[in-house]
Structure 1
Amino acid sequence: MIPSHWFRRIILVVFIMEVGGGILWVTSRLSTNPAVTPMVQALGSLIFLFGFYASAPLSARFLAPRPSRDSAQQERLARIVATIPDSRPVFLYDHTDKEANTVGLLPGHSRIYVTTGLLASMSDEGMRGVIAHENAHVRERHIFATFTYACCFAVGSHLLDNNNVFFAAFLVFLGMRRYCEYRADAGGAAVVGRDTMLTTLRELAALYPSKAWMRWLSFASAYPTLVMRMRAVETGRKALL
């Protein structure tokens, strides 16, 4: 979720829970026949997932409603973005967390959000890699791919009703998310260069240091460690562990 004021985050989470609860209530009313209950619940899950992913740009505008008023930072970011071919719009907003996020189910509706905390903590070269990485997510439609798999996962979970299949499909989902991060690094490196992408990952690793043992828990995370990502860019090979 995009970093924001805690109150706005709570409001958004509560709203999402209320919508999900409303869909669950409707599906329970419609599925009076036990034979069609899994199908109706699967349809409800698809409606919820589509609304969740498609409304991400609106959620982002709610979480970060105003751009940063720091003209120097805005000008610096504009210069950096201008060096990235066909970049999606980049929105700079005030927040101390050091993060960059991409929203939008389809490339034409995508937008990149960058916090002032991240921009102030990185060099121009490092930020070029960040923007190129986020644009690679858009260019390769990673959000749409995640949405598609989430829909298949939801339908399969309801129709098969098998805990083993659910667990295996969830691990595949985590693996797919990690693969998207590797692909975004590779796509970013193709645009700004391998050395620039490595600079980006090294600066991020300095901001978010990780322990060596964390790589062994990466199978349970949706993101590979920064050390794993650096090795992948250096060698061209994805490290699952």
Structure 2
Amino acid sequence: MFGNWLKTTILMAAIVALFGAIGAMLGGASGMLLALLFGGAMNVWAYWNSADMVLRMYNAQEVDEGSAPHFYRMIRDLAQRAGLPMPRVYLIDEAQPNAFATGRDPEHAAVAATTGILQMLSERELRGVMAHELAHVRHRDILISTISATMAGAISALANFAMFFGGRDGDGRPVNPLAGILVALLAPLAAALIQMAISRSREFEADRGGAAIGGDPRALADALAKIERIAQGLPLSPAEAHPETAQMMIINPLSGGGLAGLFRTHPATEERIARLMIMAQAR
């Protein structure tokens, strides 16, 4: 728990520093001050509101025992097994099978799944996936994951502003337009590197924790194999529009190749499956 709080604090500090650097590039000392203030305010806002923002990005609809009884009861049973409060439960009307967890702590958590994953996985496989997401909640991964997603989007927007509108230095002289282009390229890159640094190991831990919660490592392994195979041919529109949120998903939802492959925030699915199968054989 302390480790994740430390990572979150470092991430927030890095983002504020990046905002300050972009502000200095755009407007010298005054621009840096304004950007630092904006970055600090964004951190406070993100802590309290980023989960709801991500859910709105995916047009996620909250469900309860009346509207999605089987799925809701599954989450309730898994949450009890994990020793967690009951999270809010959401469905996303998308064909690609995928799921994520969000929120600032276990008491304010939410889990979301696409309608595609409910249709394409068996009950056993779906339990494995949702147990994985609840493991993220129990490990308190969700705060840093959600904040990094929303802040990376803000950084990208600020970088685009730099490229299109340029700025002036402390003496009022126009900034070199190449500098604005460089900021526009490097700021999203820095955000992607921050996300990549925090995401890979935690997926292995969530796989391990989810297998323990669900009691069936092979079910999660089978689910990962099926999701990986199906998701490659089905785009997830909100993730394509907001790629900074891709690191929240159980499987990388993005269809882009080339340079995008350099910034995968998930370990290789084959390695995740291999580790789960070792767990299954040891039971």
TM-score by length of 1: 0.62
Q: RCO (CA 8 Å, sep 6+): is it higher in 1 or 2?
A: 2
Aligned mate of 1:176, from 173, 195, 198? 198
> Corresponding residue for 2:70?
76
Matches within 5 A, 1:210-221: 219-221=262-264
> Corresponding residue for 2:136?
137
Matches within 5 A, 1:4-153: 34-35=28-29, 37-59=31-53, 60=55, 63-65=59-61, 67=63, 74-84=68-78, 85=81, 86-87=83-84, 88-93=86-91, 95-97=93-95, 98-146=97-145, 147=147
Aligned mate of 2:223, from 186, 191, 200? 200
Pick closer, same or farther for the CA change 1:91–1:150 going to 2, 3 Å: closer
Per-residue CA deviation, residues 46-104 of structure 1 (Å, 9 max, x unaligned), is 32243235313433268234548995xx2221342243123542524361332222221
Pick closer, same or farther for the CA change 1:75–1:65 going to 2, 3 Å: closer
C-alpha displacement of 1:107: 2.0
Could you tell me which amino acid in structure 1 is paired with residue 50 of structure 2?
A: A
> Corresponding residue for 1:16?
none
Pick closer, same or farther for the CA change 1:46–1:223 going to 2, 3 Å: farther
Per-residue CA deviation, residues 163-191 of structure 1 (Å, 9 max, x unaligned), is 8x976785353132122222211211121
SS for the counterpart of 1:174 is helix
C-alpha displacement of 1:130: 1.2
SS for the counterpart of 1:78 is helix
Pick closer, same or farther for the CA change 1:174–1:69 going to 2, 3 Å: same
Answer yes or no: is the 8 Å Cα contact 1:175–1:219 preserved in 2.
Answer: no
Question: Percentage identity across aligned positions?
Answer: 23
Moved more, 128-137 or 47-56: 47-56
TM-score by length of 2: 0.54
Q: Distance in 2 between matches of 1:179 and 1:35?
A: 38
Pick closer, same or farther for the CA change 1:174–1:57 going to 2, 3 Å: closer
Answer yes or no: is the 8 Å Cα contact 2:48–2:104 preserved in 1.
Answer: yes
SS for the counterpart of 2:89 is strand
Q: Does 1:187 find its partner at 2:209?
A: yes
Q: Distance in 2 between matches of 1:45 and 1:143?
A: 20
C-alpha displacement of 1:235: 5.1
Could you tell me which amino acid in structure 2 is paired with residue 231 of structure 1?
A: A
Pick closer, same or farther for the CA change 1:110–1:128 going to 2, 3 Å: same
Could you tell me which amino acid in structure 2 is paired with residue 222 of structure 1?
A: T
Moved more, 190-199 or 142-151: 142-151
Pick closer, same or farther for the CA change 1:204–1:76 going to 2, 3 Å: same
Could you tell me which amino acid in structure 2 is paired with residue 226 of structure 1?
A: T
RMSD of equivalent CA atoms: 4.1
Answer yes or no: is the 8 Å Cα contact 1:125–1:199 preserved in 2.
Answer: no
Aligned mate of 1:224, from 267, 270, 273? 267
Unpaired runs of 5+ in structure 1?
Answer: 1-23, 155-161, 237-241
Answer yes or no: is the 8 Å Cα contact 1:99–1:115 preserved in 2.
Answer: yes
How many equivalent residue pairs?
196
Unpaired runs of 5+ in structure 2?
Answer: 1-18, 156-181, 234-256
Q: Distance in 2 between matches of 1:40 and 1:76?
A: 50
